[in-house]
């Protein structure tokens, strides 16, 4: 069962500053996690949901854990622990004594469920004061969320008065005064902005001018980007209606010069901030692609231009992340590679199958559809083995038993297990079993997703071979 509630571990947080060092230390006694490797991640940007590994370390047999991380800026990090996902904010040069909830691994059905959502919790830390950053941001979130929930009816009916919001902000300021911590002050500013934007029903230009126009882009501040995504979520229709630049959609779709598109965006006076303008443009391109408003080719080309012309290194990386997502699994893009083992511990990579078409499928023996299609796969293997390599990636817990069953059914193609590279499911965006992909002899995506054997893949592959000859 997918669990969607927020589980808050009510541990305190501990913080000791270590001079000007950029090394951030995590430590603690975690006996239930003895022998486990703990990996901490951060989001690469506010748009793509890509993760980057910040660091990882093993918990000793006696439960002791210690890990130094090189943190350049204050940022949120997270960790996956069975059914949980823990979150906290790390500051450069700080030291945190961490605590986790009781260990609870995923069940088999959770592992196989591509829509599984981890239970979120605040990572608990020992011996901290009320003014510690994690405590402050957590309490501030709870305070603002409580206000919004208590007034949700009046907000929905647009009956909440500005004076009421002003009084709330005054109380909030008295409880959470500005501090020497710039991250917290910015966090509070944008949480207040979030409340005002909702309660006062500000239009996009008003919010843009009030919260973003004259302020720097805060690339690692979650509150900044929560409000940014809220304000600019419908930028395109609002922009063309308010400025009359209805040609913007065609300019993007026709891959018009990047500088011309930016010039058109300058019609919005609240985008006089060059960094903000580029951020809005990237959001516009990325969301427009996934809304089927823009095709992949012009979006990729415009992101290329941005990478080449921008003066902001953060934007260059964000655009590259977007390109990776937009171009992912598109025809003629390189298929995600894998290094997976068969039942005899022989390593297989996608590159080993170069020169032949690869009919890649993800399967699990608990799926009735998978079981039904093994016989059809056997027929395809017999007919097309000269040109087609069938590769089945199994997610079965007992892989050896599964393969033995396949051999008894005279299924003699390549079976490998996802175990040492579980992210392969994310790489191929596997949502159901079975899932099929056709890869060309050069390792590029031909069809994703491909037809299944029961959907007459055989005829489709005949057409592929005929085009080749």
Q: What is the pLDDT of residue 120?
A: 95
Q: What is the pLDDT of residues 26-68, one digit of tens each?
A: 999 999 999 999 999 999 999 998 899 999 999 999 999 999 9
Q: What is the pLDDT of residue 114?
A: 67
- Strand 37-43 to 51-58 pairing: antiparallel
Q: How many CB atoms lie within 10 A of CB 432?
A: 10
- Residue 389 vs residues 74, 304, 424: alpha-carbon distances, Å: 48, 35, 19
Q: What is the pLDDT of residue 2?
A: 37
Q: What is the pLDDT of residue 4?
A: 36
The CATH code of domain 339-468 reads: 3.40.30.10
Whether residue 108 has pLDDT greater than 80: no
Q: What percent of the chain has pLDDT over 90?
A: 73
Q: What is the pLDDT of residues 113-152, one digit of tens each?
A: 767 889 999 999 886 777 799 999 999 999 999 999 999 9
Contact between residue 319 and residue 310 where contact means Cβ atoms under 8 Å apart: yes
Distance of CA 280 to the CA centre of its chain: 19
Q: What is the pLDDT of residue 396?
A: 87
Using DSSP's 3-state secondary structure scheme, residue 183 falls into: helix
Q: What is the pLDDT of residue 469?
A: 62
Using DSSP's 3-state secondary structure scheme, residue 6 falls into: strand
Taking the C-alpha atoms of residue 202 and residue 208, their distance in angstroms, rounded to an integer, is 9
Taking the C-alpha atoms of residue 80 and residue 86, their distance in angstroms, rounded to an integer, is 7
Which structure tokens are listed for 421? 């590279």
Instruction: Look at domain 23-128 and name its CATH class.
Output: mainly beta
Q: What is the pLDDT of residue 255?
A: 66
Window from 1-15, 168-182, 342-356 with minimum mean pLDDT: 1-15
Q: What is the pLDDT of residue 253?
A: 86
């Amino acid at each position: 069962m997918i669990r969607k509630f927020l589980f808050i571990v009510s541990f305190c947080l501990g913080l000791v500053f270590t001079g000007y060092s950029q090394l951030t230390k995590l430590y603690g006694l975690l006996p239930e996690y003895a022998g486990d490797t703990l990996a901490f991640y951060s989001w690469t940007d506010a748009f793509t949901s890509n993760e980057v590994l910040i660091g990882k370390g093993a918990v000793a047999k006696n439960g002791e854990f210690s890990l130094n991380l090189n943190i350049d800026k204050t940022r949120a990090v997270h960790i996956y622990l069975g059914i949980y996902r823990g979150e906290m904010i790390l500051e450069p040069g700080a030291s945190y004594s961490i605590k986790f909830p009781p260990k609870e691994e995923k069940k088999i059905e959770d592992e196989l469920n591509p829509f599984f959502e981890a239970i979120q919790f605040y990572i608990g830390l020992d011996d901290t004061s009320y003014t510690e950053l994690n405590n402050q941001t957590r309490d501030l979130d709870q305070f603002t969320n409580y206000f919004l929930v208590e007034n949700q009816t009046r907000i929905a009916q647009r009956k909440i008065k500005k004076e009421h919001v002003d009084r709330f902000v005054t109380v909030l300021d008295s409880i959470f005064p500005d501090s020497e911590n710039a991250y917290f002050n910015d966090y509070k500013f944008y949480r207040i902005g979030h409340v005002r934007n909702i309660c006062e029903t500000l239009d996009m230009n008003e919010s843009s001018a009030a919260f973003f126009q004259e302020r720097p882009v805060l690339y690692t501040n979650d509150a900044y980007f929560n409000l940014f995504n809220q304000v600019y979520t419908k930028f395109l229709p609002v922009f063309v209606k308010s400025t009359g630049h209805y040609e913007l959609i065609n300019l993007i779709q026709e891959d018009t010069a990047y500088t011309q598109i930016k010039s058109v965006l300058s019609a919005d006076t609240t985008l006089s901030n060059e960094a903000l303008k580029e951020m809005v443009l990237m959001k516009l391109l990325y969301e427009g692609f996934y809304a089927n408003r823009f095709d992949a080719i012009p979006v990729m080309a415009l992101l290329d231009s941005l990478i080449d012309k921008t003066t902001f290194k953060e934007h260059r990386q964000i655009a590259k992340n977007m390109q990776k997502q937009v171009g992912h699994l598109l025809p003629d893009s390189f298929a995600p590679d894998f290094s997976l083992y068969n039942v005899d511990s022989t390593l297989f990579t996608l590159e080993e199958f170069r020169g032949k078409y690869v009919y890649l499928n993800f399967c699990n023996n608990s799926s009735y559809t998978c079981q039904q299609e093994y016989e059809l796969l056997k027929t395809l293997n017999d007919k097309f083995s000269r040109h087609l390599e069938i590769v089945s990636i199994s997610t079965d817990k007992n892989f050896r038993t599964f393969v033995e069953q396949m051999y008894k059914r005279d299924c003699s193609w390549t079976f490998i297990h996802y175990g040492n590279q579980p992210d392969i499911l994310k790489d191929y965006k596997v949502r159901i079993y079975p899932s099929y992909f056709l890869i060309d002899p050069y390792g590029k995506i031909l069809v994703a997703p491909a037809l299944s054997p029961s959907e007459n893949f055989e005829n489709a592959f005949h057409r592929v071979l005929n085009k080749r000859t």
